[in-house]
Amino acid sequence: MRLGRALSSALLICIVVSDCFLLSYSFAVKAVESGRSLFNKVAHEERVACVTHPKQVLKRIRKCGDDFSSALDILYSYQPFLLTEDANRSISRHSSKHSVDTKPISMVIHILSKAQEYDTAYTLLNATIQSHEKKQISTHYLTAVYKSILNMISDQTQDESSVSSIKQIIHDDMPFHTRCRPSLDIYHTALAAFGKCKQMDCIVELLDQMESNASIVCRLGTGDNLDDTKEYSFNLPSPDRMAYLTALTGSIKSKCPKDAMQILDRMRQQNIDPDKVVYNHILSSIANTKFEGRTELTLKIWQEMEDHDVAVSDDEKLCSEGAYHTLIRILSKENEWDHVLDVRNRLEQIHKQRKDINSPINLQVNQMKRSRVLTPRYIEDLEKLEKRNEIKKTWYKLGELHLPSVSCDIPDSSIVFGIQQHKNPVLHGLTLVYYTTTGEKLGFLLIRNRLENSTINGSINDEGEANQHFNFVSSILGMKVDEKFRGKGLARIFLAIWLHICLESSAIPTSEVINKPLLSLALTNFGFSPSSSSAVEIEITKLAPEIGKNSQKCKDWMPIFSLYSSNPLNFGERELKLNKMIVTNTRPNPRGKITAVKTCFQHNDLKLLHSKVKQVWQAQNQDNGFKTIVDAALLKRVIFGYLY
């Protein structure tokens, strides 16, 4: 009996102990699971915090260049909700506050547009629409993608299909998918897209709709029945200043200056005062298109600007420096030189009114007086020359050189040469052009001229000041011989013609920094010497034909010259190929000709130079010397006359 009670008590104690153990184990498991959950939450927050910053993503995408596949991989790893197989995931699982940034996808669409991968870009758009429907991204993100697509369409083609696609997006697709009216910047983008397509009629049509707040009804059917068609109506926003500026830019690209004037009137009707930016756009539109009445319209615009500027502060004035430059450009094209002088005089008057005479703006005005405008006297001198139009840009004939028929394979064995003007000859120089008698271009030589002030042998005038005089200086910038005519000695003739003009005009021939080995060698052959401390000495050797053919450095072309220097040279493969040169690390044997690159050149003996030029003419059987078709005085004026 006692034994049975003892066994019962022992059994009861075991059961209690077992329950306590199970209870403790359960609490322990729950504690571990709670800890794991907390750990996972912290780890997830840490992973989210470590998401790459959008600036770093943009930098990585930018490094891809034209490699759109790599750019897409980076985009998908950063914003995986754009992947079709990842579309069902919740955006919170793999995103952070940065992962819905719109700049990466906009940049990728731009890369796809350049690579003409339009279908892939539309795939990104569809993925974005799906994510927006699932509320994974904001409407702002979808709007940014649509803007990129609009830009892509305008770059893709410039025909009626592009126009239809743009209208489809802004009037149907966007309102339907966003369930709201497109933002005003979308209409700015659409206006810019129409401008790229040169569709000024579409710009005017859209402005009409915006000004009247036209109501648009978009219909996208989901079935065959009319009852299944979804509709969304909205009113277009009123245009702002940016809308009109964008329309003006479109008028410049479309070359429609009269439409630009209508846009100016529209702004005034909408109580938007035109500012200097608006007038600069209008003048640019007028400058880009030649039409009847351009002078009268330009003068009308200028008068409006001047009348406005009478009673306003400097910050509110419409006549900016750029506006005066554009006015001069328009009136010069129309040969309205009296009006050009009026604009210049007005600019000088403004210059005198400014207190800071040495400000950068005033220095620019002084430079413009000499360089931006070709004076009527200079134009009259140019018109005394024979005008040639073998190419799009006019040039003026200076002379003709007859060559021995055995010297080179040129039609009629003659070179016709002249000058070609630039809009700003002081900054951009002049071009000496060389043609055959049949109008085939042989090459050109680019020069930049200047006036240099110097003292006359230390002499002093009656007022005790050093006597000053001006020298004309002509510097060569570069030269090109057409590839078809290379190896025929034309570079030497081109240089001799330029040097002859300098000697006839009592000008000092020099060069700016030259980094072309063959041009440097040609100057050295005429007796020029390096004048810069940065000069790098090089040695040029003509290769034997068998050596050139066996060169291991050139796969699809044969070198003619070898280039050696004891200093490192950084000529690119393309430049070496164009000049048929290879760089060697060993000094040539037999020795080549020594010259220099990365330096300016000057000539210290004009008598020697004169004899070198004379040798060229004697080699071409021009025993009496070289003759131009114009006299020395006119030659000097047309080459240097724009400087004074």
> Of all helices (H) and strands (E), which one includes residue 284?
helix 276-287
Q: How confident is the model at residue 601 (pLDDT cuts 50, 70, 90)?
A: very high
Please, is 23 exposed, middle or buried when counting C-beta atoms within 10 Å of its C-beta (0-12, 13-18, 19+)? Answer: exposed
Measured from the Cβ of residue 355, the count of other Cβ atoms closer than 10 Å reads 5
pLDDT tens digits for range 545-559: 766 566 656 656 777
Quick one: tokens of 167?
Answer: 């209208």
Contact between 603 and 612 under an 8 Å Cβ cutoff? The reply is no
The per-residue pLDDT of the chain, averaged, comes to 77
Contact between 439 and 391 under an 8 Å Cβ cutoff? The reply is no
Identity of the amino acid at 244: Y
Q: Which fold has domain 388-456+465-535+598-643?
A: Aminopeptidase (3.40.630)
Contact between 305 and 319 under an 8 Å Cβ cutoff? The reply is yes
Statement: residue 495 has pLDDT above 90: yes
Contact between 317 and 278 under an 8 Å Cβ cutoff? The reply is no
Q: How confident is the model at residue 467 (pLDDT cuts 50, 70, 90)?
A: very low
Orientation angle between helical segments 490-504 and 632-640, nearest 10 degrees: 100
Decide: helix, strand or coil at residue 613: helix
pLDDT top residue among 505 and 366 = 505
Contact between 489 and 408 under an 8 Å Cβ cutoff? The reply is yes
| CA separation for the pair 630, 384 (Å, rounded) | 9
Decide: helix, strand or coil at residue 628: strand
| CA separation for the pair 575, 557 (Å, rounded) | 13
Question: For residue 417, what are the β-bridge partners?
Answer: 399, 434
Q: What is the pLDDT of residue 315?
A: 72
pLDDT top residue among 35 and 62 = 62
Please, is 293 exposed, middle or buried when counting C-beta atoms within 10 Å of its C-beta (0-12, 13-18, 19+)? Answer: exposed
Cis peptide before 590, with omega less than 30 degrees from 0? yes
Q: What is the pLDDT of residue 138?
A: 87
Tokens 């000695």, located at residue: 489
Measured from the Cβ of residue 473, the count of other Cβ atoms closer than 10 Å reads 18
Decide: helix, strand or coil at residue 544: coil
| Average pLDDT for 58-86 | 82
Measured from the Cβ of residue 613, the count of other Cβ atoms closer than 10 Å reads 21
Contact between 479 and 506 under an 8 Å Cβ cutoff? The reply is no
Statement: residue 228 has pLDDT above 60: no
Quick one: tokens of 562?
Answer: 């070898």
Contact between 118 and 85 under an 8 Å Cβ cutoff? The reply is no
Among 323, 313, 232, which Cα is nearest to 277's? 323
Ramachandran class of 195: left when φ > 0, alpha when ψ lies in -120 to 50, beta otherwise: alpha
- DSSP per residue over 187-245, as a string? HHHHHHHHHHTT-HHHHHHHHHHHHTT-EEEEEEESSSSGGGEEEEEEEPPPP-HHHHH
Q: How many residues does the chain have?
A: 644
Q: What is the pLDDT of residue 231?
A: 63
Statement: residue 235 has pLDDT above 90: no
pTM: 0.51
Q: What is the pLDDT of residue 599?
A: 93
Beta strands in 343-465 (DSSP E): 386-388, 395-402, 414-420, 430-435, 441-460
For residue 564, give the DSSP letter: E
**Is the Cα dihedral 271, 273, 274, 275 positive or negative?**
negative
What are the φ and ψ backbone dihedral angles of 224, each rounded to 5 degrees?
-80, -25
pLDDT tens digits for range 3-44: 455 545 554 555 544 554 444 444 444 544 554 444 444 444
Contact between 253 and 195 under an 8 Å Cβ cutoff? The reply is yes
Ramachandran class of 216: left when φ > 0, alpha when ψ lies in -120 to 50, beta otherwise: beta
| Average pLDDT for 98-122 | 83
Q: How confident is the model at residue 223 (pLDDT cuts 50, 70, 90)?
A: very low
> Of all helices (H) and strands (E), which one includes residue 581?
strand 581-584
Cα 552 to the chain's mean position, in Å?
37
What's the Cα-to-Cα distance from 412 to each of 142, 306, 368, 481, 577, rounded to whole Å? 67, 57, 43, 18, 31
Contact between 509 and 609 under an 8 Å Cβ cutoff? The reply is yes
What's the Cα-to-Cα distance from 317 to each of 273, 279, 342, rounded to whole Å? 12, 11, 19
- Domains in the chain: boundaries: 46-156, 273-373, 388-456+465-535+598-643
Q: What is the pLDDT of residue 23?
A: 43
Q: What is the pLDDT of residue 546?
A: 67
Orientation angle between helical segments 294-309 and 321-333, nearest 10 degrees: 160
Q: How would you classify the pairing of strands 508-511 and 561-564?
A: unpaired
Share of the chain above pLDDT 90, in %: 12
The highest-confidence range among 4-13, 430-439, 623-632, by mean pLDDT, is 430-439
Quick one: tokens of 430?
Answer: 């002049």
Measured from the Cβ of residue 331, the count of other Cβ atoms closer than 10 Å reads 24
Least confident of 92-96, 107-111, 616-620: 92-96
Quick one: tokens of 235?
Answer: 């009113």
Q: How would you classify the pairing of strands 529-530 and 601-602?
A: antiparallel
Please, is 73 exposed, middle or buried when counting C-beta atoms within 10 Å of its C-beta (0-12, 13-18, 19+)? Answer: middle
Cα 348 to the chain's mean position, in Å?
32
| CA separation for the pair 586, 566 (Å, rounded) | 9
